[in-house]
Amino acid sequence: MLKVGLTGGIGAGKSEVSRLLVECGAVLIDADRIAREVVAPGTPGLAAVVEAFGRDVLAEDGGLDRPKLGSIVFADPDRLAELNSIVHPLVGARSRRLEEAAAEDAVVVHDVPLLTENGLAPLYDLVVVVDASPETRLDRLVRLRGMTEQDARARMAAQATRDERLEIADVVIDNDVPLEELRRRVTRVWADLVRRAHAPRAASEE
**CATH, residue 71:** 3.40.50.300
pTM: 0.80
Q: Domain ends where: 56, 82, 103?
A: 103
Whether residue 118 sits in one domain with residue 131: yes
Domain final residue, candidates 70, 103, 136: 103
Tell me which of 198 and 134 has the higher pLDDT.
134
Are residue 111 and residue 188 in the same domain, yes or no? yes
Same domain for 176 and 132: yes
CA-to-CA separations, 30 to 33, 62, 137, 157, in angstroms, rounded: 5, 24, 21, 22
User: Which tens digit of pLDDT belongs to each residue from 39-86?
Assistant: 999 999 999 999 999 999 999 999 999 989 998 998 888 999 999 899
Check pLDDT > 90 for residue 198. Answer: no
72 and 148 share one domain:
no
How much is the average pLDDT of 83-111? 92
Whether 128 maps to a domain, the answer reads yes
Residue 203 has pLDDT above 70, yes or no: no
| DSSP label of 96 | H
Full domain range(s) for residue 80: 33-103
| Three-state secondary structure call for residue 27 | strand
Q: Specify if 139 maps to a domain.
A: yes
* Residue at a domain's end among 78, 103, 128: 103
Q: What is the pLDDT of residues 110-161, one digit of tens each?
A: 998 889 998 999 999 999 999 999 999 999 999 999 999 999 999 999 899 9
Looking at the domain assignment, is residue 167 inside a domain? yes
Beta bridge partners of 109: 4, 28
Lowest mean pLDDT: which of 37-46, 89-98, 121-130, 172-181? 89-98
Distance, CA of 139 to CA of 147 (rounded, Å): 10
The secondary structure element, H or E, covering residue 152 is helix 149-157
pLDDT score at 74: 84
Rounded distance, CA 154 to CA 148, Å? 10
Q: Are residues 191 and 150 in the same domain?
A: yes
pLDDT of 199: 80
Q: Does residue 197 lie within any of the structural domains?
A: yes
Backbone angles phi, psi at 105, to 5 degrees: -105, 20
How many alpha carbons lie under 13 Å from residue 79 in its C-beta half-sphere? 14
